[in-house]
Amino acid sequence: MFNRVFSRYETILSLLQGHRGKLLASLLFAVTSGFVSLIPFLIVYRMAGHIESGTIGKEIFFQLALFTLIAVVARYGLFYISTMLAHLAAFTLNCELKSDIVTHMGELNLGYFDKKTSGAIKKSLGEDIDNLELFIAHHLPDTMVAVSISAIVFITLLIVDIRLAIAAFLSLPFSIYMQSLAKREYMDNAGDYHDNQEKMNSIIVEYIKGMPIIKTFNLNVRSFHRFIEAVETHIRLAAEIVKKVTPFQAFFRTGIDSGLLFIVAAGSWLFLIDEISFPTLVLFILIGNSFAGPFHEISMTTALLENITEGARRISHHLETPGLKESTQPRIPGSADIEFKKVSFSFGDNRVLRNISFSVKEGDLCALVGPSGAGKTTATLLASRFWDVEQGEITIGGVDIRDIPQQKLMEMVSFVFQDVFLINGTILENICMGNTEISEDDAILAAKQAMADDFISRLEHGYHTTIGEKGTFLSGGEKQRIAIARAIAKNSPIVILDEATAFTDPENEIKIQEALNRLLVGRTVIVIAHKLHTIMEADKILVFEKGAITGQGSHACLLEENSLYGRMWQEHTKANSWLLAGRRGNHV
Amino acid sequence: MFNSIQKISGDRLSKIYISSLFTGLEAFAAALPYGIVYFVIMDLIRGNPFNNIIWKISLILAMLFFRYGFALKSQGGMMSASYEVTGRIRIRMGEHLRQLPMSFFAGRDLGRLSNYLLQDTKLIDFTFSHILVRAVYAGFFTIVISIILIMIEWQLLLPLLLVVPFALPLFFIGQNSVKKIGGMRLDIIDRADSAVLEYVQGIQVMKSHDMVGKKNRKLHVLFKELLKQSLKLEGVSFASAISFAVIMEIGYVLLIFYGGYLIAQNKLDPLVFLLFLVIALRLYAPIFELYKCSSLLRYMRNAGERVEEVIREEPQSYHPENHPIRNFDILFSGVGFRYDKRSTLDDINLTIPNGKMTALVGPSGSGKTTIMNLITRLWEIQDGTIEVGGVDISAISPERLLSHISIVFQDVYLFNDTVRNNIAIGKSNPSNKEIVRAAKAAQCHQFISELPMGYDTVIGEGGKSLSGGEKQRISIARAILKDAPIILLDEATASLDPENEACIQKAIDNLLQTKTVVVIAHRLNTIAGADQIVVMDRGKIVQRGTHDSLIKIEGLYRRLWKEQQRVQGWKLKRKGNNPS
């Protein structure tokens, strides 16, 4: 059993490396402080001895008072040192683990960060590490103190008088049994409760996020019935648990503290028949039930431990996830030619790309077209090593991208996608993105080329305007242009572009179009295309269908040769001539 | 905090008071035996008959039973009452939030707002079910023990009380430093949390700009700063807590001195003093418990304050005039609106005729969307009036006004519920037939039928499992089902998902039949057939008329039209058409 307990702690212990000394010292101080805290009780015990023997005098009181004073100061002094050491270890660990995880994240392949793992990482960086901190700073020292005090009290009482000790502990097994019943009762019902709580949480989040809809469709907490249902179920389930658990819990609370009754009853009897001395009776009354606390402490900590070890396991899992392998013989590509050679890739069992081959010459514009889900986006993500290919290889300038140092590869490729990610900072920071080599003038120049300068300079603080939560809110088209400025400033030879970007904000369309045109000058471009007329002049168009390339060539030649492309072109021209006046058509 | 919770939860708090009373009684039953022990020992020492002792011990036993009974009522009662109170608060908050104008939500972090309903109410729950119970118990326990001590020998209490004036300032210093440093620490936690969130969400961008790991200085600086503040907070607040404890316990040292002095003068029975010492030791645990609870309560109070802040926001009011709405003409007279510097309307006079299509045209920021928002009264105007069918919209209940309006905008929000229920919100208790009919008209019947569970497929929050175009069509189906006489439409909706554009266009055409339509137009050619085109620029109406009339005269409309013709022909090509 001890092994099992130990192996539970193993993950935590391994995370604690480097702080074990501090923690051990903290525990030592804490336990010592716990022992010292018993001294006042012993002093009263001594006094009882003096009173019984009639040797009580002024000096003795003076002595005892002095001892008490020393004990009080020592106890709290030690406690302070112990607490600060534990907190130092806990806070430092918190800081280090967070730094380690974010640093490690930079080494992982980007494909690792899907919705699920991002959520798990966020959980680890928040809750898991914080729980671990709490455990080290509070639960661990508290439990150690509680346990060691209990142990020493228990042993002392046994030595002083075994009969009275048994009386004092009489109710203990029952109380603990009741506590375990309470716990079992809770466990049996907690599943539903927690499930519903999670449900309630997400419904409330939905309710707030969907507020415009809630309002415009006149929903309220009642007609948006899931809200009220979840809240009421929450109340009901909680009440049920409380009802089931309370009898046992109340028994535990009362029983664990009932030692006094048995001590007084048995003690009086033993005292009357001269089996125990007066100081012994006093000692038992003083500390006979001071081990009630530890059991609260221990049961709380074991309940938490499960949670904390699970969190610790998650933390080490993130830290141990292997990062992208850096090649041992890194090579720097000499050109920006891109080539896919028989590339295949799957997400789990789902084969997304099958045996894809194509090449883009430096400075060319290559367009990917096809229905959604055909693999266009995946192909562009593989080119920048979001994931590693399963089969085949991708080369840039003739070098397998797995041989290119990651940082170099990232330098070579820029993305302009529909969902722009802006960091919480100033516009200038967003254009420079941490690159200190870009001067403010260069950044402004980039913004000018991206057609962003006019709206930026109209803002109150210009380029130093903070955007986001507490700052200015930008429209979709404005964000797009900042993203384009960012890419221009980065000045990478390869640009991967989602052409729909240009249509995010129809009003700013013309500006975004111009900005894009400037960005693309002299670069190798891969564009995911939706509006076919925009890519009519591409050097090469690749038609994607169910993960394979079913045609490649110029617009004119695909129109003739590729039936899917022909169909898409037809639909596209039809949609473009839409006139919003359906009812007019019917009426006129 | 209790006041505001009282306000929200009404009489529910009485349950909490009753439970607190039981908690007090429980503490009473737990503390009283120490008084009885005093008499038992006196009996023992004085050699009183054993019978005297037996009934006293029975009394201790009885107290155990009482205590169990009170514990049942106190804990269980408090917990279920607090769950009920927080449940009511959640419902009340949900209902209240719904009645607030959108200006309340704009510019607020929705994540934080959800926290008001979740974390903060949970904290309130915790306050009642855990902290309050502990505090009440400790408080009563302290009082009962003190009374016992007074009855034994009141003068001996003096040294214990003597230290209180010295300890209390430390208590307040501790609380204040927690408030001050704690506030700074919370601020850093907030900043670090959002930096972490930003980092995880934007890892792709971070990586592509070499801002990962140690190079992201912002993160590491924040982590270090947090470490510093945490240590500072703990160091200061714990130091004051420790000093408080030391001074309180020095009272005990003084007590020993004082007792020794009295005994030496033969003014005190050593045995009485001894028992006093034994019982007085019981005072310290509950006093420190109270200290802990009050620190926790202070922290909890913030949660209560945040909840209160939301509740204090004024909901939208209206002055009911019960005029019938004659038709669905919409009339703006001298309307002015300011939200921030970027979207302002000034002296807008506009008639949107019943049953006709009015298109709003103009550069971004010119106020088109604002006009839409004002019609729905999601936002409140500052000057002028808006009438629908001759009735001022501020004289109609927001619910009734909105029942006449359907909105189809670009960002669709779908609930984490079945497709059916997502469409059904358009109408109260629609039949299955009506839902399918609406879905068919919105061109979404086919893709819904292809989903694994058809109309009963649960779509993720925000509709993550559907494509943009599919989401759009579901939102159109909602609007068709609602069948409101006024339709507000953002035409860009139609071009959101280029692959489904044709379907959405057809769906919209079905929606617009015979309605009063206000459309925000981006592609001018789609609204060339509108009955009225209103051209806006910087919050003002600069032109109005039909396409044919506007295109003939020099002005913003003609400029926009020409520009659009150019955009339509745009081709991605760097060499040839690089604009100079």
pLDDT at position A504 is: 62
Contacts (Cβ under 8 Å, ≥6 apart) of A459: A427, A465, A472
pLDDT tens per residue across span B147-173:
999 999 999 999 999 999 999 898 888
pLDDT tens per residue across span B424-471:
888 878 888 999 999 988 888 988 888 888 899 888 655 556 777 788
Inter-chain CB pairs, A–B, below 8 Å: 438
Query: Percentage of chain B with pLDDT > 70?
Result: 91
With tokens 């016992």, the residue in question is B148
Domain ranges of chain B: 2-312, 330-567
Closest to B339 in 3D by CA, of B103, B11, B20, B61: B103
Taking phi over 0 as left and psi of -120 to 50 as alpha, with beta for the rest, B451 belongs to beta
- For residue B12, is pLDDT > 80? no
Tokens of A62: 């003076």
pTM: 0.81
Q: At residue A452, what is the residue type?
A: A
Q: What DSSP state is assigned to residue B318?
A: -
Straight-line distance from the first to the last Cα atom of chain B, in angstroms, rounded to the nearest whole number: 64
pLDDT at position A588 is: 30
- For residue B251, is pLDDT > 90? yes
pLDDT at position B2 is: 63
Q: What CA–CA distance (Å, rounded) separates A532 from B270? A: 102
pLDDT at position A583 is: 39
What 3-state class would DSSP assign to A346? strand
As a dihedral over the C-alpha atoms of residue A471, residue A474, residue A478, residue A481, rounded to 10 degrees, the angle is: 40
The more confident residue out of B158 and B129 is B158
Arithmetic mean of pLDDT over chain B:
84
B338 strand-pairing partners? B344
Q: What CA–CA distance (Å, rounded) separates A363 from B573? A: 11
Answer positive or negative: Cα dihedral of B548, B553, B555, B559.
positive
pLDDT at position B156 is: 93
pLDDT tens per residue across span B370-380:
898 889 888 88
CA angle A35, A39, A42 (to 5 degrees): 125
Instruction: Note whether B196 contacts A260, CB cutoff 8 Å.
Output: no
Q: B74-84 as b/e, with b when 16 or more CB fall inside 10 Å?
A: bbbbbbbbbbb
The full DSSP string for B205-260 is HHHHTT--GGG-HHHHHHHHHHHHHHHHHHHHHHHHHHHHHHHHHHHHHHHHHHHH
* Beta-sheet strands, E only, within A503-553: 524-528, 540-545, 548-553
B426 neighbourhood in chain A, CB within 8 Å: 217
State how beta strands B405-408 and B486-490 pair: parallel
Instruction: Note whether B195 contacts A536, CB cutoff 8 Å.
Output: no
CA angle B124, B127, B133 (to 5 degrees): 145
pLDDT at position B102 is: 78
Contact (Cβ atoms closer than 8 angstroms) between residue B79 and residue A230 = no
A91, A135, B186, B238 from A94: Cα distances, Å: 5, 11, 15, 20
Helix, strand, coil % in chain A, rounded to nearest 5 = 65, 10, 25
B60 neighbourhood in chain A, CB within 8 Å: 260-261, 264-265
- Using CB atoms, which residue from A51, A68, A577 is nearest to B256? A68
The shortest C-alpha distance from A206 to chain B (Å) reads 7
Contacts (Cβ under 8 Å, ≥6 apart) of A153: A38, A287, A290, A291
Helix, strand, coil % in chain B, rounded to nearest 5 = 70, 10, 20
A367 strand-pairing partners? A527, A541
A410, A423, B201, B212 from B207: Cα distances, Å: 7, 13, 11, 6
Q: What CA–CA distance (Å, rounded) separates B392 from B386? A: 6
pLDDT at position B578 is: 40
Tokens of B28: 């009473």
State how beta strands A391-396 and A338-347 pair: antiparallel
Q: Which residues of chain A have pLDDT under 70?
A: 1-8, 115-116, 222, 291-296, 434, 468-473, 501-507, 577-588
Q: What CA–CA distance (Å, rounded) separates B107 from A175? A: 54
Q: What CA–CA distance (Å, rounded) separates B496 from B467? A: 10
- Using CB atoms, which residue from A91, A105, A371 is nearest to B227? A91
Indicate the fold that domain B2-312 takes in CATH.
ABC transporter transmembrane region fold (1.20.1560)
Closest to B296 in 3D by CA, of B452, B133, B165, B425: B133
Q: Is residue B403 very low, low, confident or very high in pLDDT (cuts 50, 70, 90)? A: confident
pLDDT tens per residue across span B323-355:
777 788 999 999 998 866 555 788 899 999 998
Q: At residue B473, what is the residue type?
A: R
CATH code matching the domain that covers B330-567, chosen among 3.40.50.720, 3.30.360.10, 3.40.50.300, 3.60.20.10: 3.40.50.300
Give the helix/strand (H/E) hosting B99. Answer: helix B50-99
The shortest C-alpha distance from B459 to chain A (Å) reads 13
- Using CB atoms, which residue from B90, B242, B399 is nearest to A231? B90
Q: At what angle do helices B164-201 and B284-312 cross, to 10 degrees?
A: 50
Q: Is residue B89 very low, low, confident or very high in pLDDT (cuts 50, 70, 90)? A: confident
pLDDT at position A582 is: 43
Query: Percentage of chain B with pLDDT > 90?
Result: 29
What 3-state class would DSSP assign to B341? coil
Tokens of A105: 């994240």
Chosen for mutation from A93, A134, A208 (greatest number of chain B CBs closer than 10 Å) is A208
pLDDT at position B317 is: 77
